[in-house]
Amino acid sequence: MSYLNKKNYIYILLTIFISFFTLYIIFKITNENSLVYLKRLDAKYISIIMAVIFSSLFIDTIRVSELLNAMGEDLPFWYLIKFNLSMFFITAVTPFGSGSLPLAIYLFNKKKIAPNKGLMIFTSKLLFSGIFFGTIPPILLIFFRKQIQMNGYILYFGLLASCISTFLLIVMIYIILKPEMVIAVIRWFNSLNLSKKYNLDRYCQIAIDETIEYNKRFKELFSVGNNFRLLSGQLVYSVVYWILFYSIAPIILIALKIHFNWFAVVARQFIFYDVLSYNFIPSGAGIMEVGFTAIFSHEVPKAMLGIFIGIWRFFTYHVYLLISSIGFSLTLREYSSQKV
């Protein structure tokens, strides 16, 4: 497997360039002298944010570890930390996070773990995050709209984002519970001339067998009667992870001595973050910065909006990218040394 090719490096550089260029434009529009507010940022708050970041990564690794244990697999926790960081990294630097599934299957295969189990880990993380994003935003918009102070175009965009998240959750659950649709797609592909030309019958049959086995294992694994502890634990880990992640913005606001509505700041991230980050530009570079400038504009004074968005994006993207790149490099080094 080629870990990173020229296209991946272009994605990384392009993503970072777009992110910083967008932040530069935001600084120019809001207040290009807002860097002076950095003096308000006490070092203790940076330490708290870093503790939150490492805690979120630790919680997410525990989530993967418990899923593997439930499937009868036992990998060293240190390896799972590197695995999880590698997943964060490749998700952050590929469009729609498209590199994460192949990498997950590849890394698990290196440890003699079947592809359908790797797929289950990947899907489980998506599912429980999907349950989170598919249910919480609609509840917030229906019952707490006044408290989160959303109106006008922000409200309509929030409704659209919630509808998209809920729809994707329904589609994901349907595919998991009804594999017939996936099998039908595989059979359709197998009937194409392209498949016949390259004699892909065997691989399509393997894909069908793996899909059936995956569906069977998934139902057994998450049967409420058989494994309530696992099911509830995964939901709790997902909630804790996202609460930690979304607490970074309030901590920055406190550090900058900005008065704000805590509930509104956290709730708006619940509603918008997932939809804005999931697009063809890796990690939503540019879109995230502009989107959250509009979303936070009612909570942050205009003169400080640029510096707040810059700090927030630095900790919620660039720091995660840096830490995960270290884990990714360690993983590559491990397999490179095995080849020697």
179, amino acid identity: P
Highest-confidence range of 137-151, 270-284, 305-319, by mean pLDDT? 305-319
The pLDDT of residue 252: 93
pLDDT grade for 1, boundaries at 50, 70 and 90: very low
- The answer, yes or no, to whether residue 335 has pLDDT greater than 90, is no
How do residues 165-219 score in pLDDT, each as one tens digit?
A: 788 788 778 777 778 888 888 888 888 887 777 777 887 887 788 778 777 777 7
- Ranges 100-109, 113-122, 331-340: which has the least confidence: 331-340
Residue 259 region by backbone torsions, left for phi larger than 0, else alpha for psi between -120 and 50, else beta: beta
Cα distance between residue 304 and residue 287, in whole Å: 20
**Which segments of the chain does DSSP mark as H helices, in order?**
6-30, 43-70, 77-92, 100-110, 115-143, 152-177, 180-191, 193-197, 201-221, 228-246, 248-255, 262-277, 287-296, 302-313, 319-339
How do residues 55-76 score in pLDDT, each as one tens digit?
A: 999 999 999 998 888 888 888 9
Q: How many helices (H) and strands (E) does the chain have?
A: 15, 0
The pLDDT of residue 8: 66
- The answer, yes or no, to whether residue 340 has pLDDT greater than 50, is no
Give the residue, 99 or 265, on which the prediction is more confident: 265
Q: What is the mean predicted confidence (pLDDT) over 31-39?
A: 68
Give the CA count within 13 Å in the CB-facing half-sphere of 249.
26
Residue 289 host element (H or E): helix 287-296
Q: Could you give the 3-state DSSP secondary structure of residue 340?
A: coil
- Ranges 43-57, 83-97, 209-223: which has the least confidence: 209-223
Share of the chain above pLDDT 70, in %: 90
Cα distance between residue 12 and residue 130, in whole Å: 26
Opening angle at CA 152, ends 266 and 159, nearest 5? 60
The pLDDT of residue 58: 95
User: Considering Cα of 152, then 155, then 159, then 162, what sign does the dihedral take?
Assistant: positive
- The answer, yes or no, to whether residue 224 has pLDDT greater than 60, is no
How do residues 112-142 score in pLDDT, each as one tens digit?
A: 887 777 777 877 887 888 888 888 888 888 8
Tokens standing for residue 29: 């529009």
- pTM assigned to the model: 0.81
* Residue 123: partners with Cβ closer than 8 Å, 6 or more residues away: 172, 176, 218
pLDDT grade for 226, boundaries at 50, 70 and 90: low
* Residue 87: partners with Cβ closer than 8 Å, 6 or more residues away: 100, 103, 104, 324
The pLDDT of residue 80: 92
DSSP label of 318: I
The pLDDT of residue 30: 75
